Amino acid sequence: MTNPEYPKKRRGCFFYGCITCLILFLVVGLIGVLAVRYFVGQINAAIIEYTDTSPMTLPKADMPADEVKKLQARIDAFGKAAEAHTNTPPLVLTGPEINALLANSTNELRDKVYVSIEGSEIKGQISLPLEKYFKIWMIHTQGRYLNGAATMTVGLTNSILSVMLDSLEVKGKPMPEKFMAGLRGQNMAANANNNPNESAFISRFESILVTNGTIILKAKENAPPAAAVTN
């Protein structure tokens, strides 16, 4: 729930950058697979089949403004400690906390993504205007929305972020295996790892663990200087 008493502001925290990357890579990857397999007419037919003409209603985050303020202060403190290379305790975030932070932000995925964490998996309900993220001549994405749910596993090894798509449902039904085969097994964070600014930011973390319904971020004691990262 967005509270007008607490101003929205951009933050360079992990969940904003990485959640945005995950969803955008998912959309681009999905359309890319369609493009490889089909000619223009068939791509447009597939878009009609797997997308909708209106956005899907997503659950709303419901956290009091004072709790959101405390949560943002906790994240700010963690970020400053990571920049100072101090030995700071890990940052633990739940699904409701991530949703509240997104709802009170200016991030482009606000009101378009709802996150839940189950065990070691991140699940996201998405409702995205396709034309915003994918524009190619003769491909009819205008007025179409990708409405669905995705399940992903996330990990970090040697400063390399991995995001693997486990399952994808669109319009309430599983994506056909002929499409999933082209998406499953690909690291959807590959572009983030190859981007100097994003990889510099990711390298400031020792580990990212998804467990027991939480995301646990541990900062490196000797992380790269904050000046090396452009948010």
Residue 121, both tokens? 């998996």
Q: What is the pLDDT of residue 3?
A: 47
User: And the tokens for 177?
Assistant: 């295996």
pLDDT digits (tens, 9 = 90+) for 149-170: 988 888 888 888 888 888 889 8
Task: Determine the pLDDT at residue 194.
Answer: 82
State the average pLDDT over residues 185-190: 76
Residues 6+ apart with CB under 8 A from 217: 14, 78, 90, 91, 92, 93, 205, 207, 208
Through-space distance between the first and last CA atoms of the chain, rounded to whole angstroms: 25
Checking if the pLDDT of 30 tops 90, the result is no
* Average pLDDT taken over every residue of the chain: 77
Query: What type of residue is 3?
Result: N
CA of residue 114 relative to chain centroid, distance: 10
Sign of CA dihedral 18, 20, 21, 25: positive
- Could you tell me the two tokens for 93? 């975030």
pLDDT of residue 6: 41
Mean pLDDT of 191-201: 77
Q: Return the structure tokens found at 21.
A: 């990357």
pLDDT in tens, 42-81: 777 878 888 899 999 999 888 999 999 999 899 888 888 8
Confidence at 23, pLDDT banded by 50, 70, 90? low
Burial of 9 (0-12, 13-18, 19+ CB in 10 A): exposed
What is the model's pLDDT at position 50?
84
Q: What pTM was estimated for this model as a whole?
A: 0.73
Spatial CA neighbour of 154 closest among 9, 53, 21, 1: 21
Model confidence at 135: pLDDT above 50: yes
